[in-house]
Amino acid sequence: MKKIKKVRQSELIKKIEDNPFVTDDELAKFFDVSVQTIRLDRMELSIPELRERIKSVAEQTFEDEVRSLPIDEVIGEIIDVELDDYAISIFDVQKEHVFQRNSIARGHHLFAQANSLAVALIDDDLALTAKAAIEFCKPVRSGQRVVSKARAVKTDGRRTTVEVTSSVGKEVVFKGEFDMYRSSEKGGE
């Protein structure tokens, strides 16, 4: 049963406050209205689109935590980070990220997401990629969301090995092992 506009908008605000990562499609299904109705409701309520909400949450949450590069230089949006341990980011592949003839994402975007995430999880003022071993596992297309998960697996002195796995849904699309140089010594683990 469809709700009247004021009730729907009130519930929409609460739903987005509870989960700022909810998509317009998910909201449309929840409220049993069109995606366009959700977009109009958001505009009337001055609620930004998903990409802007994610960016805002990431900047508020992680700006003071990430030391190795400014949060706005990370490719994709960081949604979780525990320095020197793990980090997660999402990257929505848009038309400008793909080859025109086949709508497949250009590899440098997937690499940049994984590499900048590996840099971001390093708890140091300076982190640089010394070496990377990467594998593109499956093509990614326009409109897909890539979730990258990075984990620091070994630290010895000024080097940290970070493994990154990127997925679309449950399908792994990219794997990388990054040997990161850090400007200060850290004990072996």
132 and 175 inside one domain: yes
> Is 88 in the same domain as 181?
yes
| Domains of the chain: total | 2
Domain that holds residue 99: 66-186
| The pTM of the whole model exceeds 0.95 | no
105 and 151 in one domain? yes
Write out the chain's pLDDT in tens, 189 residues: 567 888 998 999 998 888 777 888 889 999 999 999 988 998 888 887 876 766 665 555 455 555 555 556 778 888 888 889 999 999 999 999 999 999 999 999 999 999 999 998 998 888 899 999 999 999 999 999 999 999 999 999 999 999 999 999 999 999 999 999 998 887 544
CATH number reported for the structural domain that contains residue 30 in this entry: 1.10.10.10
Residue 58 lies in a domain: no
Residues 6+ apart with CB under 8 A from 43: none
Residue 148 lies in a domain: yes
Q: What is the CATH number of the domain that holds 106?
A: 3.10.129.10
